[in-house]
Chain A
Amino acid sequence: MGAQLRVYKRRIQAVTATKKITKAMEMIAASRIVKAQRKVTASMPYATELTRAVTAVATGSTTKHPLTTEADAPARAAVLLLTSDRGLAGGYSSNAIKAAERLRERLAAEGKEVDTYIVGRKGVAYYGFRERKVAESWTGFTDSPEYGDAKKIAAPLIESITKDTAEGGVDELHIVYTEFVSMMTQNAVDGRMLPLSLDQVVEESGAKDEILPLFDFEPSAEDVLDALLPRYVESRIYNALLQAAASEHAARRRAMKSATDNAGDLIKSLSRLANAARQAEITQEISEIVGGAGALADASAGSDK
């Protein structure tokens, strides 16, 4: 076998092996999207009931709570950024990071200091490489987050928002995550979790026209709100984590699908080249044989004379 042909054969082999891997990853991601979507749906009843309860307390009482009132001059904001632990998911993590950068610039323009909290190894690596300060980070569960993970993330955030700004607390809490719209569409979005704006909550619960009854609070409206808001934050973070996980799998599936397609194209064009090389080799061999035979015939014909 000629050298050229051997090189092509080896490359085809390598690309075929890669294609097998990307194909497998594509199928794994596809099966995980369904699972992740199911988890998003399963978490919905809790989230909607909780939102309803928050709306009920906030509208049904005149209570002023630090988590629902906006500071007069917000000086510091916390941003929670959700990225993935693993790569090979196309622009998934970098889109979320870009959205966080935009939010950061906007907050900085409003004169607020920004504390960054990060979920996922990709975000941590991005900030680590640029030697930026990260308040806290969590890794290892972006594939399939549990409620406990959301609790773990929410705890320091709630603690810093209840602290005074002078003592290093924050006035606002923002979250950047990738919203799962459909199999084909996922958007990196940012949203403010706290302080709570009531219009937004009402919009989310879809209860605009519903008139909420006057509730009896047990033990009191303040206590209920005190207990309710941390749970609300946790549930929002949990929902964002689940959506981000579903988006991650969808992004990975798409990235792996195009990788598989590209590998297929590459194999096709390489095998064309390999065929041409083989054909050229055969042609050369034939012409060598014909040439050699001709030379021999000429030589023997000469000696006969």
Chain B
Amino acid sequence: MAAELHVELVAADRSVWSGEATLVVARTTSGDIGVMPGHQPLLGVLESGPVTIRTGDGRTVVAAVHGGFISFADNKLSLLAEIAELAVEIDVQRAERALERAKSDTDGAAERRADVRLRAVAVH
């Protein structure tokens, strides 16, 4: 069995996902970063985007993260985000509608949010 690290994915108002993982890939402001067990202690700023978590039992969990931080120490990884949701929780039709609406309203922030959700679903 491969070494595992403990992952906590928390949003501002709830804990979204927690469990053991073998690999976590997230996008920081200076590029994608992959964290495996035993990584050097790390603290980084996340970009909005999908985060991929490969769990201990071989499944893949994808979450849409809207900004936030990644911190890793003592084999514990925390992903902090104001808004975070699992790909399985995302309502694709609603996100698509939101994207259309944001494009027509030229609402940059809303467009980015919808886009991140759809990307997370696509990766999933």
Contacts and interface: CB of A to CB of B under 8 A. Distances in A.
Are A and B co-members of a single complex?
Answer: yes
Interface of A: 39, 42-43, 45-46, 49-50, 52-53, 56-57, 146-147, 151, 212-219, 223-224, 227-228, 231, 234-235, 238
Given A39-B13, A43-B12, A45-B8, A224 B44 contact: yes
Contacts of A218: 28-30, 33, 42-45, 70
Given A49-B8, A147-B82, A219-B45, A228 B69 contact: yes
B19 to A, nearest CB: 14
11 contacts: A56-B71, A57-B43, A212-B73, A213-B41, A215-B43, A215-B71, A215-B73, A216-B43, A217-B42, A218-B42, A219-B44
B43 A219 contact: no
A214 B72 CA distance: 11
Nearest to B11: A46
Contacts of A212: 73
Given A49-B78, A218-B30, A231-B82, A147 B12 contact: yes
B15 A45 contact: yes
B8 A215 contact: no
B80 interface: yes
B44 A217 contact: yes
Contacts of B44: 217-219, 224
Interface in B31-82: 33, 40-45, 68-71, 73-74, 78, 80, 82
Contact of B43 (A45, A151, A217): A217
Contacts of A42: 13-15
Nearest to B84: A46
B41 A216 contact: yes
Interface in B71-116: 71, 73-74, 78, 80, 82
Contacts of A227: 45, 69
B82 A49 contact: no
A238 B13 CA distance: 9
B10 interface: yes
A149 B69 CA distance: 21
Given A46-B80, A218-B28, A219-B29, A53 B43 contact: yes
Contacts of B10: 45-46, 49
Contacts of A57: 43
Contacts of B33: 218
Which of B14, B40, B82 has the most chain A CB atoms inside 10 A of its CB? B82
A234 B12 CA distance: 10
B42 A216 contact: yes
Contacts of A146: 13
Contacts of B30: 218-219
